[in-house]
Structure 1
Amino acid sequence: MPQLPTYFLSHGGGPWPWMQEFGTAYDELAQSLTQLSSDLTSRPQALLVVTAHWEEPSFSVSSAAFPSMIYDYYGFPDYTYQIQYPAPGDPQLAQSVVERLQSAGIEARTDSSRGFDHGTFTPLAVSFPKADIPVVQLSLNSNLDTALHYRAGQALQGLRDQGVLIIGSGLSYHNLRRFDKSAQEPSRQFDDWLYQTLALSESARYQALQHWQSAPSARIAHPREEHLMPLWVALGAASNAKAHCIYRQNDLFGGISASSYRFDG
C-alpha cells in the first residue's frame, strides 16, 4: 500500500458548504477540497482528523463506532443545525492512535462520547461526500505547545503506511474580530510568510515555525493559535516531505488570504 500524504486544510467558516447565502465566496476552497480525494493515489482506509475545534489537557481520540454531531457554531440558519455527516468511527484505529502516542511518551486517551465538530465534518463533506470512510478525530493538547504537537505527528507517521490519511483541519488565518477588509494586509503578510516557510527544508522550516509568532502580522492572523496548531501534527507526520500548496486565495470575503497544503514526495 503506497504511503499517503498528510494535509493542513483551511476549513472555512462554519457550515459554509450548505449555505447558498455565501454565494461564490468559498468556490475556490470547495474546488481544492473536491480535488483532494481525486489526487490521492489510493483510497484511504480511514481518516484521522486533527481538529482545531477540540482541545483537552491531554491528547484525546474519538472512539465511538457511530459518532454524533457537534454544531459548534453560532448564529447560523436553523437548517445548519440539522446537518448530518454519517461516516462511521473506527474504535480500533482510535486505540492504535492512543498507543502510538503513549509509546512516544505522550499522554493520550480515548473519548467514546466525542462527536464530529465542524472542523471535521465541514471539509470532509466536500472532500469525501459519500461519508463512507471511517473517521477518527484527534484533539489538540490545550497547552498548544508546538514541539509537542510536532512530536505527536511524528508518533503517528507510521499510520500513513496503513492507509490512514492524516488531515490537520484549521485555518491559516483566524481572527474573527478582523474577518473583513481590514484583514487584507495582515492576512496577506502572514500567508506569504507561511508559504515561503513551508517551502524550506524540514529542519529549516521547523526552526522557522518554532518562532512563528515573530512572523509578519502573526498575532493579528492568530490572536490565539489553535487554528494553526493542526499544521504541526501534519508536519510531524510528514517527516521531510515537501509542501505543496493546494489552495491559496487572497480575496476571501473581500480580501482575506488563506491557504492549504499537502505534504508528500
Structure 2
Amino acid sequence: MTAMPALFVSHGAPTLILDDVPARAFLARVGGDLGRPSAIVVVSAHYEATGVRVDRSAWPRTIHDFRGFPPALYEMQYPAPGDPALADEIVGLVRAAGLDAETDEGWGLDHGAWVPLMLMYPEADIPVVAVSVDPDAGPEHHRRLGAALAPLRERGVLILCSGSFTHNLHEIPRPFRQIETPAPDWVREFADWAAAAIVEGRTGDLLDYRRVAPHGARNHPTEEHFLPLFAAMGAGGGGAGRRMHDSTTFAVLRMDAYAFG
C-alpha cells in the first residue's frame, strides 16, 4: 500500500464549505489528488484537551460547534465510521512516545474535522479517528505527538492536521462578510516567514515561532490553531514541507496548506 503524507490544512470559518473561495476549491480537489486512504486520523484545533485524547466512537457524531451561522450549516452531517481498534493503537503509540494519552468515548467530529473532510471525501465512507490538541502544551509536544503517529502513514493512513495558518479573529475587518479583503502587512509578513521556514526545513525556528517570527503572537493570540502544523511536521518525519495552497479569507485568516513526508 502506498504511504500517505501528513497534511496541515487551514479550515477557515465554518462557512468555508459554502463559500466560493480558492481554499474551498483546493480542499475539494485534494482528496482526489491524494487517492483513497485506508483511514484518516484528524488532529483538529477544535478538539482541545489536557494531554492527548483519542476519540474511540464507532460512529462519531457531527458537532456543530459554532453560533450565528447560516441554518444550512447546522443541517450538515458527516456520517463517517470511526475505528475503535485504530484509536486504541494510537493511544499505545502515543504512550510509547512518552506522552499521556487516553481514549475518549464521546467526542466526535468538530467543524475543524468535518468541514475539510466533507470537501475532501464527501462520501464519508472512510474511517475517521479524531485526536486532540493540548492548547497549553506548546509546539514541541505536538511535534512529538505527530512523530508517534508517523508509522500509520506506511499503512495508507492519512494524517490530517487541521488548524489555521493565521488566526486572530479579533482583528477581522467589519462587516464580517468581507471575505475577500486582502491580508494586512502583519499577516502577510508572518505567513511569508512561516512559509519559508517550512520549505527550508527550519524546524528550530518554527518551534520558537512566538519569539523569532514577525508578529507571531499577534497572528496567534492563542496557539491551538497553529499547533496542528507541528503535528503534521512530526508525522511527516521532520524536515521540510511542501506548500500545496495559499490564499486569504477575511483578511486575517491565511488558508495555507502543506504536505510533509
Per the normalisation by structure 2, the TM-score is: 0.92
Kindly provide the CA deviation profile for residues 228-253 of structure 1, in whole angstroms up to 9, marking residues without a partner as x. 00011110011145412111114x23
Correspondence for 2:70:
77
In structure 2, distance between residues paired with 1:126 and 1:6? 17
In structure 2, distance between residues paired with 1:258 and 1:9? 7
The amino acid of 1:244's aligned partner reads R
Correspondence for 2:187:
187
In structure 2, distance between residues paired with 1:144 and 1:10? 20
Correspondence for 1:247:
245
Q: Return 63-72 or 177-186, whichever deviates more.
A: 177-186
Is the Cα–Cα contact under 8 Å of residues 172 and 251 in structure 2 kept in the other structure? no
Is the Cα–Cα contact under 8 Å of residues 50 and 168 in structure 1 kept in the other structure? yes
CA 1:256–1:139 in structure 2 vs 1: closer, same or farther (change >3 Å)? Answer: closer
In structure 1, distance between residues paired with 2:16 and 2:184? 21
Matched, 1:28 2:25: no
Is the Cα–Cα contact under 8 Å of residues 62 and 110 in structure 1 kept in the other structure? yes
Matches within 5 A, 1:1-265: 1-17=1-17, 19=18, 22=19, 24=20, 27-40=21-34, 42-180=35-173, 184-201=184-201, 205-213=202-210, 214-240=212-238, 242-250=240-248, 252-253=249-250, 257-264=254-261
Kindly provide the CA deviation profile for residues 210-245 of structure 1, in whole angstroms up to 9, marking residues without a partner as x. 210131111111111100000111100111454121
Deviation, structure 1 residue 182: 8.7
In structure 1, distance between residues paired with 2:155 and 2:147? 15
The amino acid of 2:221's aligned partner reads P
- Seq. identity, %: 37
Secondary structure at the aligned position of 1:227 is classed as coil
Deviation, structure 1 residue 114: 0.7
Secondary structure at the aligned position of 2:256 is classed as strand
Show structure 2 runs of 5+ residues with no match.
174-180
Secondary structure at the aligned position of 1:156 is classed as helix
Show structure 1 runs of 5+ residues with no match.
none
Deviation, structure 1 residue 4: 0.8
Kindly provide the CA deviation profile for residues 19-39 of structure 1, in whole angstroms up to 9, marking residues without a partner as x. 3xx4x3xx2111211221122
Deviation, structure 1 residue 174: 0.6
Per the normalisation by structure 1, the TM-score is: 0.90
Secondary structure at the aligned position of 1:84 is classed as coil
Deviation, structure 1 residue 112: 1.1
Deviation, structure 1 residue 257: 3.7
